[in-house]
């Protein structure tokens, strides 16, 4: 390398959200140095091809000891959830689940979106948990941390198997996704919707294809998600839209347009959450912001700081406002959102799901056939 020349910058991985692989909070710190692996770039050139920067997805199998996760958070509308995958190939830069990869010794950056763990025994564990004598039925939320319909679902079909178990037990559930793969399961969702057992929400953070490609690089395009909403609605499945997260000066100006487009596509209810940056997610997001929107970075981060509590005591009491933020700007967003809902004719409440149809021990499929003879 020429004396006095700056160290070459590693090329960005093609088709990914994060721009680096920072250490997780449980590991020792490491210092990155140029080791000459990037060919022409190491010699002062810039002719690195997309193939050289492609980061391939690795899939790892794991056996879950339990599948249904419980929570007692007063600011979320469910007390149990299912996530058949750990990590998410969609690569959404804002995903609050990124720091969870630290529990398996991996980075919340590129590792989170390229090293995916599949819970291969998910269907068997769910069947056992629903059949347990102590189990009490309440709606299960699917896909709350990582997307249950991310690309690996096409091969592993764990979500499909989970829905089949829930259908057999007549168990209510909701699905939150940003993938059009959910259309594959309309044959299961539509009959359950007629019995008041299911609701589906699509996350739609922006209508801008350029922003979507940058911060949701492997998720369905915005127009495709609207098409999915329409198809679910036409199949009789209650559909909602989630604008989560709302990031100031990025997708925040689009709130009303997103709600209008989703309502036209059949969405009946809507909800939102402000961008939060827990643990290592802050570094991942700040690096992404500096790379893609350097002119807006200071404004975005400054406004995010305004949404945080100003003292430790306020932080401890912030549970009910952590998703909506605090302060004048957060209140303005809340008013904009509520006014748009009323103007566009959204329902006031989410769909209420039935629990009285639950069967702890569903009859074998063969016996069920005789009911129709």
Q: Give 330 or 48, the one with higher predicted confidence.
A: 330
Residue 204, φ and ψ in degrees, nearest 5: -135, 100
- Give the percent of the chain with pLDDT over 70: 79
Q: Has residue 56 got a pLDDT over 70? A: yes
- Which domains does the chain carry? 55-355 (3.20.20.70)
Per DSSP, the residues of 155-201 read: HH-HHHHHHHHHHHHT--EEEEES-GGGGGGHHHHHHHHHTT-EEEE
Question: Can you give the pLDDT at residue 50?
Answer: 39
Q: Has residue 247 got a pLDDT over 50? A: yes
- Residue showing tokens 């997708």: 251
- Strand, coil or helix: what is 372? helix
Model pTM score: 0.83
Q: What is the pLDDT of residues 2-47, one digit of tens each?
A: 434 333 445 666 677 776 666 665 554 444 433 333 343 333 333 3
Q: What is the pLDDT of residues 234-244, one digit of tens each?
A: 999 999 999 99
Question: Can you give the pLDDT at residue 366?
Answer: 46
CA–CA distance, 83 with 168 (Å, rounded to integer)? 19
CB neighbour list of residue 237: distance below 8 Å, 6 or more residues apart: 186, 189, 190, 193, 198, 199, 200
Q: Give 194 or 47, the one with higher predicted confidence.
A: 194
Q: What is the pLDDT of residues 290-338, one digit of tens each?
A: 999 999 999 999 999 988 765 444 444 455 566 677 889 999 999 999 9
Q: Has residue 373 got a pLDDT over 50? A: no
Question: Can you give the pLDDT at residue 27?
Answer: 52
Quick one: average pLDDT of 126-141? Answer: 96
């Amino acid at each position: 390398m020429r004396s006095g020349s700056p160290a070459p910058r590693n090329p960005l991985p093609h088709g990914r959200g994060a721009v680096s692989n920072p250490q997780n909070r449980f590991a020792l710190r490491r210092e990155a140095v140029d080791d000459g692996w990037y060919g022409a770039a190491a010699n002062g050139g810039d002719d690195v091809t997309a193939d050289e920067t492609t980061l391939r997805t690795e899939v790892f199998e794991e056996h879950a000891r339990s599948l249904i996760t419980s929570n007692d958070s007063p600011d979320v509308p469910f007390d149990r959830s299912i996530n058949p995958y750990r990590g998410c190939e969609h690569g959404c830069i804002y995903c609050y689940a990124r720091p969870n990869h630290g529990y398996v010794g991996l980075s919340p950056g590129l590792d989170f979106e390229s090293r995916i763990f599949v819970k291969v025994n998910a269907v068997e564990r769910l069947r056992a948990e629903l059949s347990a004598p102590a189990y009490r039925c309440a709606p299960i939320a699917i896909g709350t941390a990582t997307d249950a319909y991310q690309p690996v679902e096409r091969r592993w079909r764990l979500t499909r198997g989970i829905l089949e178990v829930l259908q057999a037990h007549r168990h209510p559930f909701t699905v939150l996704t940003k993938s059009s793969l959910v259309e594959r399961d309309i044959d299961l969702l539509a009959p359950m919707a007629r019995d008041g057992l299911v609701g589906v929400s699509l996350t739609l953070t922006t209508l801008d294809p350029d922003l979507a490609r940058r911060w949701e690089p492997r998720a369905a395009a915005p127009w495709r998600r609207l098409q999915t909403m329409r198809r679910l609605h036409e199949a009789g499945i209650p559909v909602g839209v989630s604008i989560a997260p709302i990031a100031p000066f990025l997708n925040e100006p689009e709130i009303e347009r997103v709600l209008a487009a989703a309502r036209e596509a059949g969405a009946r209810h809507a909800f939102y959450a402000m961008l939060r940056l827990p643990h290592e997610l802050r570094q991942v997001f700040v690096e992404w912001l500096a790379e893609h929107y350097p002119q807006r970075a200071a404004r975005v981060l400054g406004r995010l700081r305004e949404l945080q509590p100003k003292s430790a005591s306020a932080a401890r009491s912030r549970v009910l406002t952590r998703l909506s933020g605090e302060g004048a700007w957060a209140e303005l967003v809340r008013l904009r959102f509520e006014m748009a809902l009323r103007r566009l004719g959204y329902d006031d409440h989410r769909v209420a799901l039935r629990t009285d149809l639950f069967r702890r021990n569903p009859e074998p499929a063969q016996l069920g056939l005789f009911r129709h003879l």
